[in-house]
Chain A
């Protein structure tokens, strides 16, 4: 069974700072990896999807990378804004289509 770990559990930064969120997984036989954002009491919003054959994906100020050999993915957020405050979750999809999540990183961006 795939185990997914996210570090740090919580992060607080001043506005404008660049930051990196980490996601590690135990089984390199992944199908793809997806990063989500969750606001309190809400569902999940998809941010980026990286297929197992890809190394990274970019969308606006967000960049996600994938290193299957080391079992790691990172989400880079450039020039953080207070509106980026949320919980960020990574999800690994295995080859049998199961999709498992890390516990998330709770991000606070202070004005």
Chain B
């Protein structure tokens, strides 16, 4: 059935490592988003993409990178330049003026 799948559910990163979070949707949605959520706080926009091969920085893009080579996929790489990456990461998508849907999130922890 249709939806947004984020993987893995839990991810552990060593200091200085790059890690990639996966977000896949089979809803035929054009727009996709990445957010970061810290404990007890709202969602902060990292990157978003409206079409394939195009994306825009959000409010906290430093230390992160994305690609949008396929409509269905919008992976997020957390680079070693992100000094405090421990957080809950959420991916969302929508089509045109319709409602946005979210994946179940990836919890990233630095060890």
Give the interface of A toward B (CB within 8 A).
1, 4, 6, 31-32, 34, 36, 41-46, 49, 51, 89, 91, 93, 96-104
Which residues of A are found within 8 Å of B31, using beta-carbon distances?
97
The answer to whether A99 touches B90, judged by C-beta atoms less than 8 angstroms apart, is no
The answer to whether A42 touches B105, judged by C-beta atoms less than 8 angstroms apart, is yes
Q: Is B1 an interface residue (CB 8 A)?
A: no
Q: How many B residues have CB within 8 A of the partner chain?
A: 27
Interface of chain B, helix or strand or loop or mixed? Answer: strand
For window 1-38 of B, CB contacts with A under 8 Å fall at 6, 31, 33, 35
Given A43-B6, A46-B100, output 18 extra A-B contacts at Cβ < 8 Å: A4-B42, A41-B88, A42-B104, A42-B105, A43-B102, A44-B43, A46-B101, A89-B43, A91-B43, A98-B48, A98-B56, A98-B58, A99-B100, A100-B45, A101-B42, A101-B44, A102-B42, A103-B42
Which residues of A are found within 8 Å of B58, using beta-carbon distances?
98
The answer to whether A34 touches B42, judged by C-beta atoms less than 8 angstroms apart, is no
